[in-house]
Structure 1
Amino acid sequence: MEGWPEGTGPDALDRARREDGLSQTELAALLGIGQPHLSKLLTSVSRPSAKLGARISDYLRKRAGREIGLPGWVHEVAEMAATSPAFQQLVISALALARNKKE
């Protein structure tokens, strides 16, 4: 499905870009698209594909984590847990062990 992921949109993406001090060219490179395509997205001339929407959502999610001070590895763990059931189970087991040590 094409379109902006829930909770995002051209205004949110452009605001994040400006707050991060990125040019349109720099953000486009991060998203894996050209600057002209990004410009069309930001001016609502174009809508992102589902694949690009996922990359936009990922950029905004990682950015939100940086704003509250989460280290980069936290995002990597979350991404791996979301895509790998085996890794997710490993994280759950590690959390259980850590909780037991606290008690």
Structure 2
Amino acid sequence: MEKTQLVRTLQIAAMVLIIVLAVGLYKAKTDAAQTQRHVRQLEQQVEETEASLRALRAEIAHLESPARVEEMSENHLGMSVGSESAALPASAMDRHLPAPRRTKAEE
């Protein structure tokens, strides 16, 4: 009886182990599928962010273009590149520049 009881106990333990392993495998596959979906979502977000970054860089390049800056300076400030009217004579610079400030060392 003891031998048959031992064999029966080992069979039950083996069955429990098989069930635990099967449940573990199912959980691992489910977790892997969820992780894979999450990775795909992150990759899509990266692609969208990179596309947005490219668009912003193109906009910056357009906004910083010398031709656009020249046009805006002419339209809004009435200044043109190399115009003599924009240059101040040396005698007028003192009136347009702020007065020098004293430093703590000078006081």
TM-score, length-normalised on structure 1? 0.21
- Greater CA radius of gyration, 1 or 2? 2
Q: Which has the higher helix share?
A: 2
